[in-house]
Amino acid sequence: MLDFSVNSILIDQLEKGNEKAFSFLVENYNHRLCVYANSLMNDPVKAQDIVQNVFIKTWEKRETLRHNLSIKGFLYRAVHNEFIDQYRSTKSLIALEKLYMDTLVQFEMDPEQQGTEEIMEKVMVVINDLPPKCQQIFLLSKKEGLDNIEISEYLEISRKTVENQITKAFTILREKLGKKYETVLMLVFGVNTKKGTLRY
């Protein structure tokens, strides 16, 4: 009996048009991909549509799958690309910005301090100035909700690299934002700026 949980066997059987292999793929990844897609757009119905499209395209192009491909990473990338294709011109507030808004209203702001909008803008400026790879990994983790293993498979890099880049991002945030933003960093990202430790 074929073990579809083995990546190479699953890809081989997909290439051969084995419908049981495709059923295994859908059953094992549908829910996780829908959660991921929904984190991008906050719309369960549209998220499901995107995932369905990814499965359909994967089946249609199954003969082009590489044998050394990580099927999990491939599916996450496909969902992300499908999202970009369908919503490239969308100007809705991204999940990370919404998280800032939801968090900032939870604690009182000193009247003499900057307003919420200005604080958000400064935080976003620093995030946007992160080195490209560092920024990508940081947003996959903190905006899109992927864990370190999922990010490593998605980007085809080591888990250690993911951890190092997230740590690097937090270090830059602490250095550039300073003590004034400690509460924001702690509540939004789970970073203890006083002790220099991360919770992720």
Class of domain 7-87: mainly alpha
pLDDT classification of 107: cutoffs 50, 70, 90: very low
Question: Which residues have C-beta within 8 Å of that of residue 160, sequence separation ≥ 6?
Answer: none
Question: Does residue 94 have a pLDDT over 80?
Answer: no
d(C-alpha 48, C-alpha 13), whole Å: 25
Q: Give me the pLDDT at residue 142, please.
A: 75
Four-residue CA torsion sign, 173, 178, 183, 184: negative
pLDDT classification of 112: cutoffs 50, 70, 90: very low
Q: Encoding tokens for residue 109?
A: 């702001």
Which residues make beta-bridge pairs with 192? Answer: 197
CATH, domain 95-198, list 3.40.50.300, 1.25.40.340, 3.30.360.10, 1.10.10.10: 1.10.10.10
CA-nearest of 177, 175, 198 to 186 is 198
What letters, b where the CB count within 10 A reaches 16 and e where it falls short, cover 150-169?
Answer: bbbbbbeeeeeebbebbebb
Regarding predicted confidence, which is higher, 40 or 136? Answer: 136
Q: Give me the pLDDT at residue 88, please.
A: 52
Question: Does residue 198 have a pLDDT over 50?
Answer: no
Question: Does residue 184 have a pLDDT over 70?
Answer: no
Mean pLDDT of the chain: 77
Q: Give me the pLDDT at residue 89, please.
A: 42
Q: Give me the pLDDT at residue 123, please.
A: 78
Question: Which residues have C-beta within 8 Å of that of residue 131, sequence separation ≥ 6?
Answer: 168
Q: Give me the pLDDT at residue 114, please.
A: 52
User: pLDDT per residue over 139-173, tens digit each?
Assistant: 888 776 677 888 888 888 998 999 999 888 888 88
Domain locations in the chain as residue ranges: 7-87, 95-198
Question: Does residue 176 have a pLDDT over 90?
Answer: no
Contact predicate 169/137, CB 8 Å:
yes
pLDDT classification of 66: cutoffs 50, 70, 90: confident
Q: Give me the pLDDT at residue 18, please.
A: 93
d(C-alpha 172, C-alpha 96), whole Å: 18
Assess whether the region 7-87 and the region 95-198 belong to the same CATH fold: no
d(C-alpha 97, C-alpha 115), whole Å: 15
Q: Which residue has the tokens 């888990």?
A: 159
Question: Does residue 15 have a pLDDT over 70?
Answer: yes
